[in-house]
Structure formats: C-alpha cells, structure tokens
C-alpha cells in the first residue's frame, strides 16, 4: 500500500432525490494521506487555480516539495471543507455532475458551497515507473437504524480521475439504479447502463462482486507514472441521486469514507 486516505464527514438534514431543496451540510472533514516506498503526495494549490506542468514544472518535479504524510491541517490549508452544502446528483460520463432538474451541479472546492466534494493532489513516484490502482474503499455510517445505515453507505459514490483516464472510474458499494422517482417511471435504461459501466474494480482484501477484487492485477489502473514525473489526481465524493437508497429515510446521516492507492506493478 502506498497511499491511504481517511475521510470523516459529518452530514446533517436530509439526503433525498425527491426533496432536492433540503440539503446536507458538512460540518467536519478529517483527511490524512499517508505514503510509503517511492510514492509521494502534494496537495494541489486550489486557491491559485491549481498547479500545471507549464507554469509550475520546476516546482512539481522537485521531490523536496512532496511529503509522505499530509496532515488534516495541511489539507485544510487548501480545502476548507467547513461550509459545504451537498445535494443528490448524478452523472452520465463521470465528469459532469447534474441535479435532478438537469441544472449543472457545483463542486464545493475549495470553500464554496456546492452539491459535491472535489479536491486534487499530485502523485510522484521516485526512481522507478509504476502502475497505480485504488484500494480498500471504506464507507461506514453510525446511524442507529441498520437499514438507514445501509442506505447511507449504499448511496455514496467516489470517483478518481487522472490524465490517463478519458472518464473517471466510479466506486461504490451498491450499483442499484432501479429507483422509481415517479409512479410507473424508472431511470432511463441507457443512463443506467452508462452509470454501471463507469464503475471500476478496486483492490481490497475482501471482495464485493463486480466492484472490487482481491487479485491486485485485476484492479483497474488509474495512473501509469513515469519515474520522477508527477500526475494530477482529481477526487469527487457525492450522493448518487439515482441510487435506490437515496431517499427521505436518510436523516441526520453521519458517514466516514476512506480509500487508498496501491502500486500494481513496477515498470
């Protein structure tokens, strides 16, 4: 394992595709990123529009600017996740987030209220080229009611986008897109197929059918890093409005979400 994320997100009010006017406020985020071996991480400079290899090449290529552990304080200096308003959203391509009324959803980045969370970082592999996959997606809720707890967990989605991917991979526990949003009407079958196709395999010690694998080589590659050449990773976290569990039963939800990066192979 070469990188570990730990997200703790406190959610209030209502998650519901039906009641899109009622939103969820994120009151606290705890995120730590830890690396080992040859992989190092740098938070993107969101306040100044983000780093790029044209204007910031010297900075991005310098390993001294990267760290093996990013504390929550480091992350919150770039991403102030303190006043985020989240609403159920969906996507047909993993890139463009839309609300139920087809209005484009806004990301809550860095401290602007939006319908989903987005942040970026740079990954650097020293000395050798590697292929990288995501690992150990972990979503949990502490709601007392077990059914509601499962509903929270199954409604959450996370996506990872790099320059190597035309569209991001989406990760979640439950590809349940049979939500009937009005009497006798279900999600368009083409949209449903598109959403399911975007889901990727991540590596984990315990498998969930069609969503993760305990065979590292089977996990989808999210980045192929050349030695000493960094790559930008964009992460999104949202409530999937088309998921069957995204409804009014999810009240005062509290959930934690975590995932990691792992080296699949050395090139």
In this prediction, residue 186 carries a pLDDT of 56
Bridge-partner residues for 130, per DSSP?
Answer: 225, 266
User: 189 is written with which tokens?
Assistant: 């079958």
How many domains are contained in the chain? 1
Task: Please state the pTM of the whole predicted model.
Answer: 0.82
**Would you say 128 and 227 are in contact if contact means Cβ atoms under 8 Å apart?**
yes
In this prediction, residue 7 carries a pLDDT of 42
Is beta strand 24-35 parallel, antiparallel or unpaired with respect to 69-70?
antiparallel
**Domain that includes residue 197, residue range:** 3-266
> Terminus-to-terminus CA distance in the chain, angstroms?
17
User: 133 is written with which tokens?
Assistant: 């996959």
For 69-100, give the DSSP string. EE-HHHHHTT--TTSEEE-EEB-SSSS--B-T
**Would you say 208 and 174 are in contact if contact means Cβ atoms under 8 Å apart?**
no
In this prediction, residue 62 carries a pLDDT of 94
* pLDDT tens per residue across span 120-172: 889 889 888 999 888 888 887 766 666 666 777 888 899 999 999 999 999 99
Cα–Cα distance measured from residue 10 to residue 175, given in angstroms and rounded to the nearest whole number: 24
Residue 19 has pLDDT above 70, yes or no: no
């Amino acid at each position: 394992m070469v990188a570990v994320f730990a997200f703790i997100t406190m959610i209030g009010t209502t998650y519901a595709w039906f009641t899109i006017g009622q939103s969820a406020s994120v009151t606290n985020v705890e995120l730590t990123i830890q690396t080992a071996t040859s992989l190092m991480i740098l938070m993107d400079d969101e306040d100044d529009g983000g780093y790029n290899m044209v204007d910031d090449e010297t900075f991005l290529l310098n390993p001294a600017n990267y760290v093996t552990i990013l504390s929550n304080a480091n992350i919150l200096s770039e991403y102030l996740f303190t006043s985020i308003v989240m609403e159920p959203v969906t996507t047909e391509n993993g890139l463009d987030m839309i609300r139920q009324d087809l209005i484009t959803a806004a990301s809550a980045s860095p401290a602007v209220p939006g319908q989903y969370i987005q942040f970026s970082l740079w990954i650097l592999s020293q000395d050798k080229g590697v292929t990288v996959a995501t690992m150990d997606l972990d979503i949990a809720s502490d709601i007392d009611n077990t059914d509601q707890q499962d509903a929270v967990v199954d409604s959450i989605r996370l996506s990872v986008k790099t320059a190597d991917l035309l569209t991001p991979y989406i990760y979640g526990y439950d590809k349940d897109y049979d939500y009937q949003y009005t009497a006798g009407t279900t999600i368009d079958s083409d949209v449903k197929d598109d959403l399911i196709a975007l889901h990727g395999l991540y590596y984990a010690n315990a498998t969930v059918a069609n969503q993760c694998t305990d065979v590292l080589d089977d996990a989808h590659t999210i980045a192929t890093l050349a030695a000493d050449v960094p790559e930008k990773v964009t992460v999104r976290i949202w409530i999937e409005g088309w998921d069957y569990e995204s409804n009014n039963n999810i009240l005062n939800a509290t959930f934690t979400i975590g995932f990691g990066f792992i080296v699949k192979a050395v090139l």
